[in-house]
Structure formats: structure tokens, C-alpha cells
Structure 1
Amino acid sequence: MKSRILVSVIIGFLVMAFSSTFAVDSSNVDLIGKLAGGVPEDVFVQGDYAYVAAFGILSILDVSDPQNPIQVSWYDSSIRASGVYVSGNYAYVADATSGLRIIDISNPSNPFEVGYYDTDGDDANDVYVSGDYAYVAIGNAGLVIIDISNPSNPSKAGSFDTPGNAYEVYVSSNYAFVADGGSGLRVIDISDPSNPSEEGFYDTLGYAYGVYVSSYCAFVADGGSGLRVINISNPSNPYEEGFYDSNFPSTRGVFVSGDYAYIADYWNGLRVIDITDPSNPFQAGSHDTPGKALGIYISGNYAYVADCWRGLRIVDISTPSSPDEEGYYDTPGQASRIYVSNHYAYVGDIDSGLRILDISDPSNPSEVGSCDTPGFASGVFISGNYAYVADGWSGLRVIHVGTPSNPFEVGHYDTPGWASDVYVSGDYAYVADEDSGLRIIDISDSSNPSEEGFYDTPGQAVGVCVSGDYAYVADRDSGLRILDISNPSNPFEAGFYDTHGDAHGVYVYNQYAYVADGNSGLGIIDVSNLSSIYEVNYYDTDGITWGVYVSGDNAYIADYWSGLRIINIYDPLSLSEVGYYDTPGWAIGVYVSGDYAYVADSASGLWVFEYIDLIPPNQPPVANAGPDQTVIDEDNNGEEQVTLDGSASQDPDGTIASFVWSEDGLQIATGINPTVILSTGTHSITLTVTDNGGLKDTDSVTIKALEEGKGFGELPTGCYNNVFNPTKGEKALIVVKLSKQAHVRLNLYNARGNRIRELADEEKEAGTHKYYWDGKSDNGNVVGSGLYFVHIQAGDYKKTKKIVVVK
């Protein structure tokens, strides 16, 4: 029977039902739901809908009410959407990992993929559609022209490799204008799509990220050099008409409408530039968005800004001199660590503090509350009604979460370093404070936490797990440090293990510390004896191991660009990957609770997976202590040697690791066929077998040891010493008791029914007669171990008895 575990991945917080048709890279892990999110990079508006390329997904928002945009659906297939263009019933998505995706959006609430064109791994940054062609900016590969006349079967029409890094493309008439990074603006003649050629170029002062053509000018978003206005009236000889230098690091996107150019100016949000005189543009107004403005689209009186890490911002531009935010759809996307308690997931999000999600229905999680912290929330731990947040440069924040829909801060302690992680035990919060090591904070008064003690580790303390009197610290390039915290005011190092890689996280379970060791994967460290700490084994993953959580027989790994990896650790000496899902973002943290695992997948979203465990549960062994025995003390010394037989014991799905024989609760022997000395009398011997999974079973055998002179004459016809080892000189005894003279025949057979030895074929007088079998066949060779039968015939009496030969 297959056992199942639901696996979730968190980071963006956009709520919708899952829809996907394209196969993803996974094994034994099925995607069944998602709280979608991402990092908005581009936006296109058509009618009442905004189509947002949000890195991990294409998000479709109903913006008919600009004050209250609503997500109606999304499309994801592990795509990394960086650009989007809508034409008719299709959204054309530039996928940074695999080229062009064509999505049917005729029903915006149910998008699905109809076709794609693979650009062989080159980065597809942007797309522009004109007629039957999609013009795709493919980074180092320049411009690729794709025939989309049949959307279900797009094909390459032509290409032109620009000298720089093609970021964006705009098509006007017979020309494609390419923002080509360090090579400025390139003008490509596309009158023959199968044979495009460069008509002209203008090497701008900065780094060309975006381009928009209006009238005789190309407006170039030129990174640190602001907005450049290029006269393209003669495409073969473009020149700069004017410019607006924003004096800020990176102008990333531009859209022209009427007399204004609207630029996405990175950290500085939206800038409105008056271009009435293209030779002398100037700023007319601005609006500072909370994130990093990367893309922009103008529709009517609104500017739609793709505001990296802070979602889609809708800005009213009806008065260009004073643009004002009308509404937004927030998609914070830098979750780093997660803690699950009851029906809530508490997520530390670097950009927006503590996020609280209702996960009572894991297939449809929803955000119920949040509390924005002043720093960069990177770790969270729940204890009672409080969330303890490691908040980067703002230290430890204590947030009351008794009412999840209304969290609020009640206290804080500003640690000297960068608070990366936190673990709470008793009255203390243990903070991994990077360069300042481990800080121990007294939280007995939640409104006034204070430092009780600290230990400055040699590396950078970025992860912490407490077990008993010890704090286990992931100390980056100094590996695993183990601190004795029995006296919180005076912690000291009790041991350490310098791991192969860069320790990012640690989880302690039983005698092992499981270390997320960066480029070196998962390390398993035996910490049962702190004077002799050693690595038992390691598993080198495909990515960079950032987080680890152990549950049952599996370690769940947040493996950065390789997503979620599930490693079976049942036998630490023999590790194996049993499942994985390559998420589109960067998996950073993981938490397992009950049947679910929650993974912080930076720049993606909350994914709900089903992990199908194809390894069946361990089946218990079956003990068999062998047949009952009667042995004779022939030398009358009060004891007799007996061979025990557990060879018939079985384990249906593995191997038996140990055989233990006991009498009256005391161990008397081990092994499958041990030889023991028993005193005369009746003995009840118990066999306990244990399999390699730790499961046990028992069986008992009765052994009678009779004295030769005190009962032999009373022995009935039968077989005695019927479990014996002939290589030790032992023999089986067959007794025939006759009330009158009779012909006696004794024959031995193997398990196949073949006769192997004739012991007797003779006439015998009345009385008791003894025959011994020394374990040899008629040819004089000792037989092999196994089950044999002796057939006894005396006159009309016939009987068959079992004999077991062991060696």
C-alpha cells in the first residue's frame, strides 16, 4: 500500500486554484494546489485584465476596479516569466528558461498552454507580437523571430545575433528596435523575417534595458543613464535627440502615451517625463513605489507598474504632475523560513515581515494577517501566543499572534549582528546572529526581552536548533558548532565538526545532526558522543542546500535552484533520493508538520504537492523457534547439549538482523543455530528476532532433557535429539518400542522425498530399541543443513517424524 505525504512550497501569497498542463521536472511528487506568487517583472493590459509576468507564473488580474484588483487565475509550468505580450486570445510569455510559451486566455479564469518554442536554454527576456510573428529578445542570442501563424506549432522564421544582451524589443513598421544592454539600441530590418539584418545602431551611454517607439523617436530606458531619446527618422543612422538623466542607478522600463514618457525607475518607482520637446525632456511628476519598478504599461488614466517584490501597483496618472496610487495587488516574494503551528503557517518574509496563512485547507491556503517588521524577517519561531522573528539588522522582534488576523509587536531586542534565525526553548530565544555568533535572549517578559548570554562562534551563525542542553549552530564556513547552554548566561563550545561545505541550516533528530551544507548537500553528523563527533554520511544534491527538516524516514531539503529534494535517511549509511520537485524559484527554507511540508521558494509561490512514497512500510519479521525437542542425558551428568534452530524465521521485506534466545527473561544464546547446555528437565526457550528496520517477533520452543536411567524405558516410539549438528559429533535418536516381536524398517528421506539412508531393516524382539543417525547418507557423506524425515515401520505401526540438521 502506498503511503502519501502532501508537500507545500511557500513564498508569494496569491490565492487561486491550480491550473497547469505542461510537464515539470519531478519524481514521485505531484502538484495538486498552489498559493501562487512571484516577482513581477513585466505587465501588459488588455481590456479589464492585467497580465503580469511574475517570474514563477503568469498572473491574470481583473483590474476593472483599479482600487481593488483581483487575481482571477494564473498559469504556471515551472516557467520563469520575464516578459509578456497579449494579442487576441493569446498571451505570449517570454520564459527565461525555455523560450516562448503561448497561452490561450480566451477565458481569463482558465488559461492553458497551446504551444511553445524552445530556445535551447537561452534567456528569453521579452516578446513583441506583430502580425504572424513573435519577436523575442533572447539575451546573448539576440533577436529570434518565431512564426506563430499556427499557435499550437510555432516555428523559427529567422534570427539576428546582436552584439550585446538583448533585453527588450519593440516593432514598428519594418523594423525591430532592440534594447541590447551594453550595446545600446540596435535597429533590425525585419522586412524579410527569414533573413533579418542590422540597419543601424546607436550605442547609448548606459545599459539599455527597455525601448518604446513613438513617432520618429525611440525612447530607451538606459539603466544608470536614465531615459535616452534617440531620433530614428533615418533608421540607418540614429542619433540622440535628447535625454533625461534620473541620477539614480537603474531606469528599467519605459512606456510612452501622449506627451509623456513613463519610466520604471527601479528603487525610485514611477517617473513621469514630459517629452513635448524630445530634445529637452524633463520630469513632470513621480510616485515612489515600495518595491523595485521593473516594467510599466499605460492604459487610460492608469499606469500599471510591475514592482519587483511588491506586486502590481496601479497609479492614477490623470494628473501627470501628481500621480497617486489607486490600488495594488501585493505579491511579496522573499520568504526565507517558515514555522507551522495548528492551522497556521507563519512566514518570515524579508520584504514584508511576518505573514500569517490559514492552512486549514492545505489545497487552498489564504493570508489572514501580517505584521511588517522594520528589518529583514528571515527566521520565525512560534511559542504560545508569540512569534519570535529574526529580523536581520533589527534583531529579535516579539509579535503577539493570539489573534492571527491581528498580529502586533509587543517587544524587541536589537542584537549586535544580523539576526538570521531563531529557536525558542523555555524562557530563552536563541538567535543565530551571523558575525556576532549565538545570542541568548531572556524572553520571560515578552515586552522587555534582554540578553542573558552569548557565544561568538568563529564563522557566521545563520541557523540554530536546540536539543536538551545544547544549541547546534550552522556556522557557514566553520561548519557545525555545538554549544553547551545548560547555563544560559555562560554558554561554551562543547564540540564542533567542520563540514565540507557552507553550513546554512541544521536539524537535530535522535543521535544525528542533519546539516544543510550548501554546495556539499546534506551532511549527517553523529553527535551522540560530543568527544568524538564524526560524519556518518552525506548526500550531494544538485543545488545548494539551504534548509533541512527531518520527519520519519525522510529528510526534506530546500535545495535552492533545484527546489525540493526528499532524501530517505532510514539507513544513514545508505542514503537515496526518493522524490523531488524542481520549483521555478529558489527553495530556501522547509518545515514539516503532520502530512505536509512547507518550503520557502523565493520568487515563486505556495505550492502544494503530493509525495507518493513508493517504498512500502516495513513489514515485521516472523520468528520460528523450530520444533519441540526431547533429548536424552545419556551420561547421567544432569545436563545435555542442545542445538537450537531459528532457521525457519523469515522477514518478508528485508533481512533479520539478530536472533536472541532467552529463558525466564534471561538471554542464553544468540545466532540462528546456537548450541546450549541445558539441565535435565523441561525448558521453555523464547526466540526474539529483530529485522533491519527494528521490528521484532517472538516464538517459543519446549525442550525436554530426560535422564537415561530415569525414564528412558518409558520413552514411546519416536525421534529424539531431532535437531542436531553432525559436524559437532551430535546424533539423532530414534526409539522403537515393541510389545512383541516385529520387523523394523527405518528409512531417512530429504525434503524432496528422496531416500538418503537406510538405518534398519531387521527382525527385533519385544522391548525398546535405540537407533542413532549420525547425519550421513548411504554413501557416507554428511548431508546438508535442512529438514529431513524418518519413516518408522514396525509390524503394522507406521509413523513419520521430522529431523532438522544444522551446521
Structure 2
Amino acid sequence: MNRFARVGLLGMLVGAAVSPAIATTCVDYATMTHWVSMIDGHDPVDVAVDGQYVYASYTYDIYACGLNVIDVSDPANPVVVGQAATTAQFAFGLAHDGNYVYVGGYESGVLVFDVSNPAAPFLAATENTPGATRTAAVQGQTLYVADDWNGLVVMNISNPLNPVTLGSVSFGDQAHGVAVQGNYAYVGGADSGFQVIDVSVPASPAVVGSYDSAGFAGAITLDGNLAYVGDGVAGLLVLDISTPTSPTFVTQLDTDGYAETLTIHGTTGYLSDNSNGLLLLDLTTPSNPVITDRVQAPINWAGPSVVNGGFAYLAVGSGSTKGIHVVDIGNGTTAPFDGALDTPGHAEQVTVVGDLAYIADKSSGLQIVDAADPANPVILGTASVRDKAYDVAVTGGRAYIADGLGGLRIFDVTNPSTPALLGFLDTPGKALGVALLNVAGPFEYAVVADDGTLRVIDITNPAAPVDAGILTIPSYGKDVEVEGRYAYVSRSFSGMTIVDLIDPTSPVEVTTYDTPGLVCAIDVSGSTAYLADGNRGVRILDVSNPAAPVELGLVNTPSFAQSIEVAGNYAYVADGQGGALVIDVRDPAAPLSVGSLEIAGFGEGIGLSRTHIFVVSGTAGLEIAPRQCDAVTSAPGVAGAGTPFSLSVSPNPFASSTRVTFSLTRPGPARLDIYDTAGRAVAERAEGAFDAGTNTLRWDGRNASGRPAPAGVYFLRIVTEEGAATEKAVRLR
């Protein structure tokens, strides 16, 4: 573990006594709602899902738009399998029906795409409208089109290749959303609010009711006698439509953002809010919807979303990671933080040693925080710097600060309440990163990323540190990590440079590895390097031959990977406005996002104690959460256990049945239990004795009553005399 000077995970640290944790122990983030993956979808505008395929309309540029077909049979690795481009000016909302997708082509009218072959979708027909088509809804053989200033247009699509306009009605405002139920179409009428249109006579649709909403009425979701309206900055509007001609107010939920599209499953709502990401709502009492949780989206911008088979698919049409983002709904909750602390400055980076967190707080210098009780962290001491504290390394009762234009500052922190300046060295550049080099026993050198140079500083006498070796690195160096004799330096847009420090007085560049993103931070463990590559996610490299790094795997992140720490089987990432992520790196060739944390600010730095994650996010300060359990994922309400044998589920996701394969070290009985996300037993399949070696049990997708279990997330648990293990599986509809 290369960061023991920064993170304090190993017992080699001086004075690193660890008190028992008072707050929450480890958490299995994989069972909770979390971000999973994304795929570039140009500028996606709307989404629909059917089985293993997501359909996304996109507008890449004027006269460059169309439809993407994305295979999400493996939600962690979505793949664009088909694309149909058009010369239409825009592609907006869409409706999917069987082999066809109807897309609002704005001034090009309705665009009809044939998706009977997902790998080869094509534009099959168009139908012009008097206005500018924004979106549509299908009921039977009729298409209802929100046609901007032209209001609602009704079309016959009994022959999808030849849509025929039957009638239209305007109401003096823009039609932005539409939903249909029975003889009524409900239209989001922008500034004029919610419009009710009688479509019992398709050739003569008529406005028969309305409700003037407080915001900008757009997407509409119907649930029995209730209409949920995405009302922009006014939040989510709930209306009673039991008498369609006279919709009445039920309630308005302020989301403190811009409410867009709601999907309802049972009593849970999933609301995309382009200022807050994906909001989870408890709709048990429609007159009192409650926001129960949130999954952050990149730059907090989430467009329309759909939910299917335990996953939500969000169209994110803005920012550096625009595309289709996949969220695992899990058990409908996200992990809470144990504690938080506002720092006086801008919290940039954090290092944890024992119970103490050392925060580089920019202009406010070094903040030393007592986190013995993670639920109640307290600032013990503060040390001022000349410029701004960007990074901190700690060992042996000393803290080494990368002080920007102030160079390297060294503090005595043996008494954390009164840190004292021991010495400093002004550097010619801007010191942004610091790590420590152990040559012969105690650390003798500080390695500083100083803008265009890497400086190896002799700290044998902390009162008078001096340059020992200097290497010019012609790029902006933000972070530096030391593992063994090598330093790994982030070069922002130029990737990572590996430097040989076997002679600290004469550092030698070994190689530079370029990446497509912006390398903000590096962590190295043994012969593996983990790169936080900005908007290109996390990259894992084999550096066993430092002269020739080889990329092993890549995992995208929802926003901007800023900082990374690796411990055990997991990497922990501060991801800008994507919050904090937990990534399973047991297979470096296939890293997998298994958890995410909503944070108050912009995730900039991350550190680890033996039991907790420490995330710093600028002006939002410090937040502390439990670490991921290093045991196997367990079903809610079911005690976890170690894994004395291997376990796999295939196919996963599955439509009708799946196989659970497991291995035993000796003959013995085994039982397969199936749980839902609430921890309720769905089915149990008891078997007799199994042989040592590989064995298989099958679940036919049915519950204990023999009826097909609904689509969603399940936990398949094998129980044996040797122990128990659990894997998550997704049943498609």
C-alpha cells in the first residue's frame, strides 16, 4: 500500500493507536442504491426501455441527431449495438411501442424508427406536424404528439410506416409533455400548466380542463386517479384527476431543483431532477410524498429517466460525462454518513492516521480532526501556511504540507492540539502534491510535485529541508505517489510519469504513460497503479515493469474522478459532483462500481482509516462513512459470512431461470435461498448432499407459491456446512 504515509492503514505508523469505532461498522454498498455505469450517448434527450434494450434519442448538433439502441443485459457494461442517424434538426422525447420508436423531431415532425433488429435500427417514416414535435405517447393504435405551440396532435399509427394525422387542438401555449389514459390526454403546457384534452373523438380533440401550475409543466406520469407533473423549479406537482375535467390540487413537492420525469414502481417513485440527480420518493401517501434518498448525477444534471428490472437509466445531456447513466436501485436506500464537519476553508485533501484526520484546507492551512467518534468529529488543532495547503503526508509525528506557492512546510504534530512549524523550503513552482521516500529506515526525503518539476527534498533535518534532486517534468503535476524506489507523478493532460528514485539526488524519468483524461491522482499498491483520470474514470495499470505500464482495466465514473485510495478489494474514489464511489477491483481487468455516496459538495479528496471513508469536498468540509465490508455481498436482513467457496450466477440478468454454481472443499448438504431487496424470503430450494468440487443449483424464477417472481433485484444465497455466500441477480420481465 503506497499511501501508508498518507492514509495510515498499516501498523507501521508511529503513534497510530486506533480506538474502537463508535459509529456504524462496515456497510455492503452493493445492496444499496448506487451508480453503476455509463455509456457515451452523444447528447441524450430521452430514454425508453424494453427488456434488455434501452432506446435513447440524441441531439449531437444541429442536423446531427437520431436514435441509439443500447444493450443493457449486463448493466455494468452497457453497449451501443445500433444507431440510426437523421438529418433532422433535433431529436427530443420518444415513445416505444413494439418494433417502433416514435421520436419528436421538432420542426421535422414525428420520426418513426424501426427497431425490429436492434443492431440495425433505421428511420422508417416521418410525419410532419404544424408545430414543432417535442414528444409523444402511444395508446393502442393512436399516437398523441406534444407539438409545442400547436398543442396536441392525434395520429393513427395502425400502419406505423404511414402515420396519419387525425386531428389537433391548441391551447395558446407550448405542449412539452403528454400522457394518455382512457379518453383523455394530459398535456404539460409549459407556462399554462396542466391541460386535459378529451380525445374520445380523435378527429376533434378538445380541451376540457386545466390546472395552472406554479412552474413550467412538462413530463406527466399517471397512476390511477393521480397525475404527477414535472413542474420545473416548482418541483413535483400532484393532481387528483378522478374527475378529469376538473383536476384538483393534492400537493406540491419542492425538490430544490428542476423536476423532470417520474417513474413509479409500487409506492416508490424515481424522479429525475436536473439539479439534484435521481431522487427516490416514498409515495405511500400521495398527499405527502417524501424524498427518501438521492443518487447524484454528473454536474447535478439528470434528464429523463426510466426504471426497469431493478435499474434506472438516466439521460444526462450535459457535462463531460454526458450519456446514459445506469443506477442500481438496490434496496431503495443509499448509505448514510456517520458524521460530518465543516472546515473553515476549502478542504482539498485528507490523510488519516489512527483516529486523526489531517485535512489540507487550502487558505485555512492544516486542520487536525479527532475522529475517534466518527459521528462527532472535532477539530483539535490548526496550523497556518503561507499560501494554500493542497496536500498532506503524515508520519512519525510530523506533517508535510504541499503549500502551493509556499513550497513545502513541515509541522510537528506530536501534540495535535498545537501543531508547530519545524521548517520550510520555498520552491520555485507551485507545490501541489507530496509523498515520502524511505531510503534507509526513517523517511529521509519528501517528494514534491512542484508544477513543472519533481523535487526530492532532504528532510533529515526538518528545521532546514534542502533540495537533494530535481527532475523537470514539462507539465502540470498535481499528485505524487511513492512505491518502493519509484515515484508516480500525475501530469494532468499528459498522463502519468514514472520516476526512478534509487538515487534520490539524481531522479530519472523512466517513462510517461498518456491517458485520454486528466490524471488528478494516483494510488499504487505493489505492481498495480490506480489512476483517477478525471472525466475518463478510473484506469488500472500493471506497473510490474515500470518502463512499460500496461492497462489492465477501466471503469467509468459518473462525473470527474479527482482522488483515489485503494485498500483490500476496493478502490474508493472522490468523483466531483458524482459524490464518492466504491469500486470492486478484485478483477483488475473488470473493475465494477458497487457503491456510491451522496456528499454535500464536490468530492475532491478521499482518505481511509481502518474502518471508515473520509471524503473532503471543498467548502462542504469533511464527511465520514463506513468502509465497504470486505466480505461477500449479503442480502438485507441476512447475516453475512465469509466465502470459503466460489459462487457465481449465470445468466445474470436472466429472463426465466438462472443457475447458481458453487464449489465445496468436501462433500456436504447445500441449500439455495432467494431473498428480495427487503430481505424477505422469496423461495427456498433444499437439496441433498453435494460432492466436493463444482456443483450447480437452478432457480426457475418462481416464488414459494410456484408463481413467477416479478422483475427486479434478488439475492441468491447458498448455505452449506462450510459457510454461506450471496450473489445479487436481476430478473428481467
What's the TM-score, normalizing by structure 2? Answer: 0.49
Query: Taking CA–CA contacts closer than 8 Å with sequence separation of 6 or more, which of the two structures ends up with the larger relative contact order?
Result: 2
Q: Which has the larger radius of gyration?
A: 1
